[in-house]
Amino acid sequence: MALRLSRSLLASSLLFSAILLADAAPSHPNIVFILTDDQDNHMGSLQHMPSLQKHLVHQGTTFERHYCSTAICCPSRVSLWTGQLAHNTNVTNVNPPWGGYPKFVQNGYNDHHLALWLQQSGYNTYYVGKLFNAHTIYNYDSPHVSGYTQSNFFLDPFTYQYYNVSTTKNGAPPTNPVGKYSTDIVAESANEFLDHALQDDSPFFITLAPIAPHALVGEGSLGGFDPPQVAERHEGLFPEYKIPRTPNFNPDSPSGVSWVSKLPKLNDTVLDYNDEYQRRRLRSLQAVDEIVESVVDRLEQAGVLGDTFIFYTSDNGYHIGQHRLHPGKTCGFETDINVPLVVRGPGVPAQRVTQVPSSHTDLAPTILQIVGIEIGDKKFDGTPIDIHGKDTEPRSEHAAVEFWGFGLAESLFGRENGPPIYLNNTYKGLRIEAESYGFYYSVWCSNEKELYDMKADPGQLHNLLSSKESDIDATITIDGKQWPLEKVADRLDALMMVLKSCKQQSCTHPWKSLHPSGDVRNFHDALSTEYDDFYNEQVKVSFTNCEAGYIIESEGPQGFHTFEVGGGHADGGIYDTSEQQVLINPDWSLWE
């Protein structure tokens, strides 16, 4: 009897240990990071990738409210790899003087980015594909990109030429493998990197960055931008596909502000062209889908799939036809800023979908956390994402958005009156998402404002602050209760005043900057009537000029008031033009 009991206890103990081991992530897991270029999250691109669905969506977690902070390639990528918002990296566009690889180097980030931190902690690191704009055949070695064990970078001015890309492999002089489809080059390098990584006992970090589904740019394009070229094996796919005719697709009435509100309705010729444009984008993604299949199969054959996290995302989103827009990005609409994020790996729940907001600035600290590297003194504007779905603490509900420069139509149409460039596209934005409310608020450099109730108006067709829509007695429903529109707008504007120049903890906990006592942790808390006068008297967000880059003197007031318990307020923002940064110094210990 005792022997049976001992055996039973031993079996139970072994089973319990096995469960714990299965649930526990390895201390130094491998990371595969797949980064596409301009992939939409609102026109069905993920649903047209069967291998992605099979291996990542069904085996991992989809983050439906993941956002890029700047809806254009280079600034978004720099934010992703550094964990900082663009107003802190001061990489705000795709080319010098405001952005591109030279700006990344000039601002010191070649010595401070995710791959380098991982390499310094014992990881073998690899990268193939597009890194940044203005990373060229002339400056690829001035200096070389730091932090990679092996690399195969695509180089301008050939980055977006699908059959004539220029590459530098492990720092060697550029070559043009003419006739090779660029996504297949990514696939070949992925296999080479995995072969190298699997021969070593060190953990690995591999980034695969195809240009799909970005537009074709340069040789072969008819005026700057054209639909992407497709691998021959994928020509003709999805012949019946059409862009979803959502309410915000080519609406009868204009929407938005500034140049967007002046766009004409698209005719049938343009709509047919746009549908085919998106079909070609979907076809270009099939080669990326093949990479997903190949990588997962290779990891499984090597016996390391269970020790590997796979991240899949895009640098920014994309619009085609929504709000009457020609193909492109650069806007603050959900189509442009809400990007795919799917994560699979040890302890990540399968077939889980979460609406908890997150941002590209969260990805670097997330990866450091899951591989067990101390964040230390790294200046992150984001915070680790709970990819395991176990966090019992409420996560912040906001995502900061910002843009500088011009909008651009990336199509054959929209060029009738000259270059398809829309000036004064500089704005600050704020996205809030919670279970019972959701908002997008923005202030443009023209000082026009937008406010959309994302629960009632997910297509962002009705700007509650436009002269046509605005009503002094208007209300917004939150938790079944009617709240005055002015009261809601005051809170959002104050939050944006913090976020538009925030740094580190004031980015992750902006309400703390306004309420140092810690009594307000989210938008709902801030709605208390106790704070009505406080928010009404706040200095409002505005611009004094439209700039192509981050010039703080043109971005209006920087200071704001902080709420003092018992009434009254004190100045909370401190102007510091030498650092181009608002310094905010609340007592963070109250939030720990």
Give kind and range of the element (H or E) at residue 77.
Answer: helix 73-82
User: If DSSP codes are grouped into helix, strand and coil, which group holds residue 46?
Assistant: helix
Supply the angle between the helices 268-301 and 182-198 in degrees, to the nearest 10. 20
- Is the Cβ–Cβ distance between 448 and 428 less than 8 Å? no
Backbone angles phi, psi at 491, to 5 degrees: -65, -45
DSSP label at residue 161: -
What distance in Å separates the CA atoms of residue 346 and residue 26, rounded to the nearest whole number? Answer: 8
| Residue 53 CB burial class (10 angstroms; 0-12, 13-18, ≥19) | middle
Q: How far is CA 413 from the centre of its chain?
A: 27
The DSSP-derived string for 236-291 is: T--TT------TTBS-SS--SSGGGGGPPPP-HHHHHHHHHHHHHHHHHHHHHHHH
Strands 308-314 and 30-36: parallel
How many other C-beta atoms lie within 10 A of the C-beta of residue 449?
22
What distance in Å separates the CA atoms of residue 356 and residue 386, rounded to the nearest whole number? Answer: 9
What distance in Å separates the CA atoms of residue 188 and residue 169, rounded to the nearest whole number? Answer: 12
> Which member of 68, 73, 331, 507 is catalytic?
73
Q: Is 73 a catalytic residue?
A: yes
Output 552-560 pairs: Cβ under 8 A, ≥24 positions apart: 552/501, 552/577, 552/580, 552/581, 553/577, 554/445, 555/428, 555/500, 555/501, 557/497, 558/501, 558/582, 560/494, 560/497, 560/498, 560/513, 560/514
- Is the Cβ–Cβ distance between 579 and 503 less than 8 Å? no
What residue ranges in 449-564 does DSSP mark as E strands? 449-453, 475-478, 481-484, 561-563
How many other C-beta atoms lie within 10 A of the C-beta of residue 201?
7
| Residue 89 CB burial class (10 angstroms; 0-12, 13-18, ≥19) | buried
User: What secondary structure, in 3-state letters, does 395-454 show?
Assistant: CCCEEEEEECCCEECCCCCCCCCCCCEECCCCEEEEEEECCCCEEEEEEECCCCEEEEEC
Q: Which residues are catalytic?
A: 73
